[in-house]
Structure 1
């Protein structure tokens, strides 16, 4: 799971949450974790992995001078607040509702990838209140689904006239504050929750976190290297079909719950 998520992240420039959450849900269910905690723990553990994997991605983009740090700085405050609120909203939802929300979000993201939608615009970036609101929305959604926020922040930045490679790089830099705030929130909100399995830190299951981080960070550079040699657009469409299957699983999980 870690290798596949890391390879996809390096090859296609996506966060691992889209892949990790459904697979972690399957594995946690098979291990007999409490049904009402399975999806919450999958999302929290997935978000915690981004805390580590985002650092290498951010460093690589920074070396190429592609990160727009001024834009990242304007979005970051709202993102930190939103990422802390997102897990709280998720905690108020039962497993079925959370699985349903995740499934719909992944299906939407897969559609963006399938049709390679990259909205471009010439509108300037909004002022401070607008950037705070945009960052807050990115943070809330990321905290809810355990992803790095790229499927929201990249379209927003390109719509506002930022070149796509700068938007991708800046989104990668924003992955760290999203993951940091969201992970702290999931530890706080899950602390002392009844039914947590051994090895849990709040809603984060540490054994899965360590294994997935080690595997994904080892394989992600290989994916990034092959990105310049393989037909990435075709691969994105294939991967979109995989995301549809994962979304269908999460929707079935919601229905079965």
Structure 2
């Protein structure tokens, strides 16, 4: 696909639809929306024949930039329903920020195809765990261990999430679920975690891509401004709607929905990468 008027109409339409889905998923499952946006943008940049060396980086960077708004909107909606563990965020926050900084410091040195396989592999493993792993215990009994486990988990969650272009919910929800957090509180807390990961991640993607060749038109660094301008209002509007849905359905079905979306995206991303 060349950079024609028809190509841009197709691009804008696809991004608009992806933004609606990403916003709903962000609020519903506590993810930043990147689990939807990264595969969609990677596919679109592939169809537009963007340089393979940068297409995944731009998909990740643009996704991170939109997660700032999505995570803010989603976490506020969950917080209004008392579903965000603020005490955990206060102690975990510095380690999440550190992990995001470390991840973005490695971001530009990782090849696009390597980023793609990391995205697919990690997402697939998380989907399997959420589908087959143990369910959480009764409400308010979950607790992420303090000390080294909390520090290291924060660094790993944020580091992997930043180079995958996701808000951290895809890793945070299974982690908190493992430590027997109620599913709704895990989802709400994960939405807030996304904000702590996306802000330094966006700055890192912007700086890492400055001066790179082969970027899509209207891109600054690894952030595409057209996609950013469309996705910010769309995802921000639909995230609270997804959050309201999350508090109206059975937590068991919420867990299965989370696993299904992760599995779909893992397979789809792998197929797209192998065809590229």
How far did 1:164 drift?
3.5
d(CA) in 1 for partners of 2:86 and 2:25? 25
Report the counterpart of residue 21 of structure 2 in structure 1. 4
Instruction: Please list the CA deviations of residues 237-257 of structure 1 after superposition, one character each: whole Å capped at 9, or x if unmatched.
Output: 467455434322322344345
Residues 45-194 of structure 1: pairs in structure 2 closer than 5 A = 45-115=62-132, 117-118=134-135, 125-194=144-213
Let me know the Cα RMSD of the aligned residues.
Answer: 2.8
Counterpart mapping for 1:5-44 below 5 A: 5-44=22-61
67-76 or 121-130: bigger deviation: 121-130
Quick one: structure 1 residues 159 and 219, their matched pair in 2 at CA, closer, same or farther if it must change by over 3 Å? closer
Structure 2, unmatched stretches of 5+, are: 1-17
CA contact (8 A) 1:99 1:253 kept: no
Q: 2:267 aligns with which of 206, 228, 248?
A: 248
Deviation at 1:236, TM superposition (A): 6.0
Any unmatched runs of 5+ in structure 1?
none
The 2-side partners of 1:142 and 1:205 are apart by: 19
- The 8 Å contact of residues 78 and 136 in structure 1, kept in 2 or not, is answered as yes
Aligned residues: 257
Distance 2:185 2:249 in 1: 22
User: In structure 1, the residue corresponding to 2:108 is in which secondary structure?
Assistant: helix
Supply the distance in 1 between the matched residues of 2:248 and 2:79 (Cα, whole angstroms): 22
Question: Could you tell me the TM-score, scaled by structure 1's length?
Answer: 0.86
Deviations 1:173-222 (CA, angstroms, capped at 9, x unpaired): 11111000111111111111122233212111121012122222222333
Tell me what 2:6 maps to: none
- 3-state DSSP of counterpart to 2:40: helix
Greater Cα shift, 112-121 or 93-102 = 112-121
Structure 1 residues 124, 172: closer, same or farther in 2, change over 3 A?
Answer: closer
